[in-house]
Amino acid sequence: MSARHHVAILAVLVLGMAFAIPRAQAERLIVSVSNHRVTVTPNYSGEELVLFGSVEKDASTPAQRGNYDLVVTVSGPRADMVTRRKERKFGIWINTDYRQFLQVPSYLALFSNRPFADIASPEVERRQQLGLDNVLLTQRVGPDYADVVPNDVFRRAFVRLHSQRGLYREDTSAVTFLTPTLFRTGIPLPAEVPIGTYDVEIKLFSAGSLVTRTETAFEIVKVGFEQFVANTARQNGLVYGLVTAAMALMTGWMASIVFRKD
Amino acid sequence: MQLYLPIADMPVNIFLILAMGAAVGFVSGMFGIGGGFLMTPLLIFIGITPAVAVASVASHIAASSFSGAISYWRRRAIDPALAAVLLTGGTLGTALGVWTFTQLRALGQLDLMIALSYVALLTTVGALMFWEGLRAMMRTRRGVVPPRRSHGWIHGFPLKMRFKRSKIYLSVIPVVIVGIIIGFIGAVMGIGGGFILVPIMIYLLRVPTSTVIGTSMVLTLVTMTFATLLHAVTNHLVDVVLALILMVGGVTGAQFGARAGQKIRGEQLRLLLGLLVLAVGIRFAIELVIRPDDLFTIRETGVTG
């Protein structure tokens, strides 16, 4: 059995456990995003979605429970990526070493109402993937698939470069509780957001442990001429090439007519 | 006015690109070259990835060489037989070049190879042109007519063929090889290769000046059109919006450049062109030697889901 299978089985187990926990609990999370379908037009310069939600209690909820903590994880479409490092060789800077990141989110945002360290113990932080340092970013290390320690140089550079472009973010004061049970958070989407389905996972913590969780999703679609061009280039390379070549010849021909010296 | 480039995946100022196209067009019209060796570096310097720059400039050169080729055709300054032989090598070289481009990209060494090729080629060719122009200027000042050898080693090859319009009798082997080389470096570096091809044809193949530029434009036209197609099919990197703006600026600028070029003397023109080529080469060399702002880069290798 390959390493990929192991990862898959592990993922199923983890998911199963995560789903098993809420049933034993009394709270329920009800959430909604302000827009389930974001259309990106050519002059789109970034926008912010709003996530609203409330914590519903029922009769079996322990009466003294009230100090809730909330962590929202937004992850965009997944893709394989390569991080390369330049080194000085023979006096010039060239790409030498590289790491492959497998099926990592192209957009990742982690929001909470207070620092992750105050919400849960380091052990829970790791298990629940709270914070950019604890999110699973699978690398291919030789024949194996594994995540590495948070301070690995390639992992750090990977997170840093994505953060610079506004694609990876972590904000431990983004979630605000309007009342003890009603909360909201903004999800900023920069101009260069990748298109696709975005999963939003909301986890409710109380006294350092996970109480319940829920999920929602939204979709980002690009519309307009630019997207049409990009899609055509990828899906119909030959037609695209022929059109481009024909356009070049047309332009050249037109110029020779317009500027003909008689 | 900002415009979003769909393939380069970045917003640019449309007037900046238009001005760059016009400026390069002016220079190319003035010297009778495609201008790819200036256009590709300029695009790289404003932040477009080398891969997209190389692939998109190919179509820009196709446009400008087509308008040039038409006017040379009208003046009967193209040798069809010579062009055909050059093209057999040219298309082969282009296909090889695009294949190499794809391989290098997968290895993550494409940007480096593009930069290195620019440094090597431009500094060498630039220095040679500069030196040649300088010598020619000194010769004319002293009033010495340069001796012209009638036979070179190039005439020792078999498979000779008569090229009627150029009035030369030449083996097809060196012609095909020249075609392959120009096609290859054109596809990898995003240049038409006119600035290398013209001197090679004049000094090595002894093609008369009456047909040399027109014929070299035909080669550039076909190899660059072919390169555009191959880059679009294999690497999906041709940015049609970028290419269109460059073309419009380029063909317009070229007309004014051609008029300006007629006012300057040949050897001064060569000296200037040599300096220009040399400057671009040195700019690339500096880029390679100084420490980059960020040692790390990320590239997406495949989206699934």
pLDDT of residue A16: 46
Q: Do A248 and B59 touch (CB under 8 A)?
A: yes
State how far residue B208 is from chain A, nearest Cα, in angstroms: 24
Q: Which residues in chain A have their CB less than 8 angstroms from residue B7's CB?
A: 229-230, 233
Handedness of CA B148, B154, B158, B159 (dihedral sign): negative
Mean local confidence (pLDDT), B149-163: 68
Identify all chain A residues contacting B34, using CB atoms and an 8 Å cutoff.
none
DSSP designation for A61: S
Kindly give the pairing relationship between strand A139-141 and strand A144-146: antiparallel
In three-state secondary structure terms, B195 is helix
- A83–B289: do the CB atoms touch at under 8 Å? no
**DSSP SS3 for A10:** helix
Beta-carbon separation of B71 and A158 below 8 A: no
pLDDT band at B145 (very low <50, low <70, confident <90, very high): low
Kindly tell me if the per-residue pLDDT of B251 is higher than 50. Answer: yes
Average pLDDT over residues B151-161: 69
pLDDT tens by residue, A104-136? 888 999 999 988 888 888 888 888 888 888 888
Give residue B153's pLDDT band: very low, low, confident or very high (50, 70, 90).
low
In this prediction, residue A20 has a pLDDT band, given cuts at 50, 70 and 90, of: very low
Q: Which of A77, A86, A238 is facing B292, going by the closest CB pair?
A: A86
Residues 6+ apart with CB under 8 A from A10: none
How far, in Å, CA of A221 to CA of A206, rounded? 36
Residue A199 has pLDDT above 90, yes or no: yes
Taken in order B74, B77, B80, B84, the sign of the CA dihedral is negative
Of A85, A226, A245, the CB nearest to B225: A245
Query: What was the ipTM of the complex prediction?
Result: 0.77
Question: Residue A99 — pLDDT band, cuts 50, 70, 90?
Answer: confident
> Is A82:A98 a contact under the CB 8 Å cutoff?
yes
Residues 2-41 of chain A with CB under 8 A from chain B are: none
Strand A37-40 relative to strand A209-222, pairing: parallel
Q: Which residue type, as a one-letter code, is found at position A72?
A: V
Q: Please, which pLDDT band fits residue A17 given cuts at 50, 70 and 90?
A: very low
- B105-118 as b/e, with b when 16 or more CB fall inside 10 Å? beebbbbbbbbbeb
DSSP code at position B204: I
Does pLDDT of A13 surpass 60? no
DSSP designation for A236: -
Report CB contact under 8 Å: B297, A79.
Answer: no
Listed in sequence order, the residues at least 6 apart from B94 whose beta carbon sits closer than 8 Å to its beta carbon are B183, B184, B186, B187, B223, B226, B227, B230
> Does B305 score more than 70 pLDDT?
no
Closest CA to A109 of A2, A198, A13, A17: A198
Higher pLDDT, B298 or A21: B298
pLDDT(B293) > 60: yes
Of the candidates B122, B113, B50, B116, the residue with the CA atom closest to the CA atom of residue B276? B122
The tens digit of pLDDT for each residue in A82-98 reads 888 888 878 778 778 88
- Using CB atoms and an 8 Å cut-off, which of residues 157-216 of chain B contact chain A? none
Does residue A18 register a pLDDT over 50? no
Contacts of A137 (CB under 8 A, 6+ apart): A101, A104, A147, A155, A158, A159
Tokens of B253: 């600028």
What does A150-168 look like in DSSP terms, one character per residue?
Answer: TT-HHHHHHHHHHHHTTSE
Pick from A91-95, A169-173, B30-34, B266-270 the range whose average pLDDT is largest. A169-173
Closest CA to B242 of B21, B1, B50: B21
Q: How far apart are CA B113 and CA B107, in angstroms?
A: 11
Quickly tell me which residue has 């390679």 as its tokens: B288
**Measured between CB atoms, does A113 come within 8 Å of chain B?**
no
Task: Report helix, strand or coil for B267.
Answer: helix
Convert B35-85 into a string of H (helix), E (strand) and C (coil).
CHHHHHHHHHHCCCCHHHHHHHHHHHHHHHHHHHHHHHHHCCCCCHHHHHH
Task: Identify which of A151, A168, A150 has the alpha carbon closest to the alpha carbon of residue A159.
Answer: A168
